[in-house]
Amino acid sequence: MSNYVFLGPPGAGKGTLGELFSRRMGLVHISTGALLREEMSSGSELGLQVKDLISKGGLVSDQIVSAMIAKRLSQPDVLRQGCLLDGYPRTAAQADSLQEILNENQRSLEAAVLIDAERQLLVTRLSARRVCSNKDCGAIYNVQTKPPLKEGVCDRCSSALYQRSDDSEQTARERLRVYEEQTAPLIEYYRQRQLLVITYSKDVEAEENYRCLCEALRQAGKANRGCCAKNKV
Ligand SMILES: [Zn+2]
Q: How far apart are CA 203 and CA 38, in angstroms?
A: 33
State the SS3 of 111-152: EEEEEECCHHHHHHHHHCEEEECCCCCCCEEECCCECCCCCC
Q: How far apart are CA 106 and CA 95, in angstroms?
A: 16
90 has catalytic annotation: yes
- As a whole number of angstroms, the longest Cα–Cα distance in the chain is 53
- Whether the per-residue pLDDT at 233 is higher than 50: the answer is no
pLDDT of the residue at 13: 87
The CATH architecture assigned to 3-118+178-219 reads 3-Layer(aba) Sandwich (3.40)
* Cα 132 to middle of ligand 1, angstroms: 5
191 has catalytic annotation: no
Q: How far apart are CA 224 and CA 185, in angstroms?
A: 27
| Count of CB atoms situated within 10 Å of the CB of 105 | 15
User: What does the pLDDT average to over 199-206?
Assistant: 88
- Whether the per-residue pLDDT at 227 is higher than 60: the answer is no
Choice between 171 and 190, residue whose per-residue pLDDT is larger: 190
14 has catalytic annotation: yes
pLDDT of the residue at 106: 95
For the chain, the domains span 3-118+178-219
pLDDT tens-digit readout, 6-56:
999 988 989 889 999 999 999 999 998 889 888 889 989 889 988 888 888
* Cα 166 to middle of ligand 1, angstroms: 19
User: What does the pLDDT average to over 153-178?
Assistant: 89
pLDDT of the residue at 128: 87
- Whether the per-residue pLDDT at 82 is higher than 60: the answer is yes
Confidence of residue 57 (pLDDT cuts 50, 70, 90): confident
Given 72, 125, 129, 222, the catalytic residue: 129
Helix, strand, coil percent content, the chain, rounded in steps of 5: 50, 15, 35
Q: How far apart are CA 7 and CA 5, in angstroms?
A: 7
pLDDT of the residue at 33: 85
Q: How far apart are CA 195 and CA 59, in angstroms?
A: 29
- Within 13 Å and on the Cβ side, how many CA atoms surround 207? 4
pLDDT tens-digit readout, 113-143:
999 999 999 998 888 889 999 989 989 998 8
* Cα 158 to middle of ligand 1, angstroms: 6
Taking a 5 Å cut-off on Cβ, the residues next to ion ligand 1 are: 132, 134, 137, 139, 154, 156-157, 159
User: What does the pLDDT average to over 91-106?
Assistant: 95
pLDDT of the residue at 204: 85
Q: How far apart are CA 202 and CA 179, in angstroms?
A: 19
156 has catalytic annotation: no
pLDDT of the residue at 4: 97
